[in-house]
């Protein structure tokens, strides 16, 4: 039985993460902390002997992937489907500002509703978009290897959930991925997709930041 490993890796820290701002698909770069996190995480991930490396086309994810590319010699294949959830009018705001200025939308988001309003992408659309990109990454390489995909917090959670066939209510029980942590999935023809590990990374003692 041939088993393929998929590592879904969240990007490093940014100034907007640090300030609690909703990033969504705004192209915010890594800060100095995020760059170091990417290097530290890559030193662990290289031990998994990845055979392919994919990334969101947003800089914070692509530059995170580049840290692993530097150790493996792999090229980074970018896919815009791996972008974070689009947060429409919320992008650039803190969650406190969203709650104050768009209270109904904020309440719907907090309750885990699929449709929030304000131009925010639905969770179903996010899950399918990212899940399709993850599946395409795995399908693009021979079975039995390790594929690493650098993406974003919400994208990682809902994309992996799409592959696993988990409902949104189940995904809400998972804590947000920390910066530069990852989810590991495995796939074989008998058992299909399975969750092997969640929120793995080198900074276990640090607080969990916003996944947006």
Q: One of 11, 158, 162, 181 is an active-site residue; which one?
A: 11
127's tokens: 């899950």
15 is in an annotated binding site: yes
Q: Indicate if the alpha-carbon torsion angle 23, 127, 83, 184 is positive or negative.
A: positive
Nearest to 89 by CA among 161, 14, 24: 24
- Tell whether 17 is in a known binding site: yes
C-alpha torsion 171→86→182→59, nearest 10: 180
User: Is 11 part of the annotated catalytic residue set?
Assistant: yes
Burial 70-98 (b: 16+ CB within 10 A, else e): eebebebeebebbbbbbbbbbbebebeeb
Establish whether 84 is a catalytic residue.
Answer: yes
Residue in 35, 43, 80, 84 annotated catalytic: 84
**Does 179 show up as a binding residue in the annotation?**
no
Report phi then psi at 190, rounded to 5: -90, -50
Q: Is 14 known to sit in a ligand binding site? A: yes
83 annotated to a ligand binding site: no
Question: 11: annotated binding-site residue?
Answer: yes
- Is 13 annotated as a binding-site member? yes
Question: Which residue positions form the known binding site for substrate?
Answer: 10-17, 60
Known catalytic residues are 11, 84
Report the binding-site residues. Answer: 10-17, 60
């Amino acid at each position: 039985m041939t088993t393929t490993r998929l590592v879904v890796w969240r990007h490093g820290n940014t100034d907007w993460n640090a300030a609690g701002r909703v990033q969504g698909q705004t192209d915010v770069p890594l800060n100095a902390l995020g760059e170091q996190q990417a290097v530290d995480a890559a030193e662990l991930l290289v031990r998994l002997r990845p055979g392919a490396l994919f990334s969101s086309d947003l800089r914070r994810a692509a530059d995170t992937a580049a840290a692993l590319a530097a150790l493996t010699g792999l090229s980074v294949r970018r896919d815009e489907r791996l972008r974070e959830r689009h947060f429409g009018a919320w992008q650039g705001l803190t969650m406190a500002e969203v709650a104050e200025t768009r209270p109904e939308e904020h309440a719907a988001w907090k309750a885990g509703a699929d449709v929030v309003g304000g131009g925010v992408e639905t969770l179903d659309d996010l899950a399918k978009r990212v899940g399709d990109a993850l599946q395409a990454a795995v399908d693009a390489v021979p079975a039995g290897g390790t594929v690493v995909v650098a993406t974003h917090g919400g994208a990682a959670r809902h994309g992996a959930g799409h592959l696993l066939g988990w409902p949104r209510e189940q995904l809400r029980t998972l804590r947000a991925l920390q910066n530069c942590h990852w989810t590991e999935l495995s796939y074989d023809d008998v058992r299909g997709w399975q969750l092997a590990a969640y929120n793995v990374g080198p900074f276990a003692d640090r607080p969990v930041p916003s996944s947006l």
